């Protein structure tokens, strides 16, 4: 389950299990609950602060938990709505957020990175990829809005309609990531960027974020049902 560490004013949320490096960090319902619980702890801190999310090993996040989905197809709409809550929370988080993408960010995991204020990617290994088109799986209303509103339009078109895998440097060129660095510098670079903005934490920042992301937040709040999503 996700766990927290701290570097000065920066809280570091690791998306996998402590002591393990082979986690795919998929969006199982229990994982989603754990992420929210750790974010509750971060928000309980008083004073200036910032948030970095990262992982260890091959994956930042490999997206939706397909094992859970196929075992619980009747619960899919509600599950997707629960996934949306992670994106909405990060989009309006009361402190600066930086995704330190040290490995692959696929599908819902790529969207997770996209929901942060900023992204630092590894330049020599790992991809940002939206494979839904090759999986014959549609985007929800909220996911589509998140990608279309947070990525440059032609980048969103290419990423969503081709499933292209963007390496770190290509991701910077495409406007997906802000910085690409060597693998051992990803977390340090993200912490440095987040820490420099820690003093902005507060209600004013939240208000600004809500204004910037108003359309996306409305879309993420759209209840998923058969009228706007079908799978398989």
Per-residue pLDDT tens over the stretch 29-60: 999 999 999 999 999 999 999 999 999 999 99
Distance between CA atoms of 3 and 232, rounded to whole angstroms? 34
Distance between CA atoms of 74 and 184, rounded to whole angstroms? 42
In a domain, 231, yes or no: no
Q: Is pLDDT at 231 greater than 80 in this prediction?
A: no
User: What number is the average pLDDT over the span 163-190?
Assistant: 96
User: What number is the average pLDDT over the span 143-150?
Assistant: 98
Distance between CA atoms of 167 and 183, rounded to whole angstroms? 12
What letter would DSSP give residue 116?
S
* Structural domain total, the chain: 1
In a domain, 230, yes or no: no
**How far is CA 62 from its chain centroid?**
11
In a domain, 229, yes or no: no
**Alpha-carbon torsion, ordered 32, 33, 37, 42, to 10 deg:** 20
From residue 219, alpha-carbon distances to 66, 88, 94, 100, 193 in Å are: 23, 10, 20, 26, 29
- The pLDDT mean for the chain works out to 96
Q: Which domain holds residue 173?
A: 3-220
Distance between CA atoms of 183 and 65, rounded to whole angstroms? 26
* Per-residue pLDDT band at 108 (split at 50, 70, 90): very high
- Gyration radius from the chain CA atoms: 16
- CB 138 within 8 Å of CB 132: yes
The pLDDT value recorded for residue 232 is 54
Residues across the chain: 232
* Per-residue pLDDT band at 227 (split at 50, 70, 90): confident
In a domain, 232, yes or no: no
- Tokens at 62, concatenated: 């490999």
- Tokens at 196, concatenated: 């420099």
- Tokens at 180, concatenated: 């690409």
In a domain, 228, yes or no: no
CATH number at residue 209: 3.90.226.10
In a domain, 114, yes or no: yes
Q: Say what the pTM is.
A: 0.97
């Amino acid at each position: 389950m996700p766990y927290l560490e701290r570097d000065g004013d920066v809280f570091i949320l690791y998306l996998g299990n402590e002591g393990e490096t082979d986690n795919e960090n998929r969006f199982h319902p229990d994982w989603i609950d754990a992420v929210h619980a750790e974010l509750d702890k971060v928000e309980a801190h008083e004073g200036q602060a910032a948030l970095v999310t990262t992982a260890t090993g091959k994956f930042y996040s490999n997206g939706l938990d397909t094992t859970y989905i196929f075992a619980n197809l009747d619960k899919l709409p509600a599950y997707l709505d629960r996934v949306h809550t992670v994106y909405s929370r990060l989009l309006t988080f009361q402190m600066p957020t930086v995704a330190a993408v040290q490995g692959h960010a696929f599908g819902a995991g790529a969207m997770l990175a996209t929901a942060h204020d900023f992204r630092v990617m590894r330049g020599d290994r790992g991809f940002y990829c939206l494979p839904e088109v090759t999986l014959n799986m549609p985007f929800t209303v909220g996911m589509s809005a998140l990608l279309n509103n947070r990525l440059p339009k032609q980048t969103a078109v290419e990423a969503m309609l081709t499933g292209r895998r963007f390496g770190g440097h290509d991701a910077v060129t495409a406007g997906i990531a802000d910085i690409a660095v060597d693998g051992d510098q990803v977390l340090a670079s993200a912490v440095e960027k987040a820490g420099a903005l820690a003093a902005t934490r507060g209600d004013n920042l939240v208000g600004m974020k809500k204004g910037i992301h108003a359309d996306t937040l409305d879309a993420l709040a759209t209840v998923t049902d058969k009228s706007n999503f079908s799978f398989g």
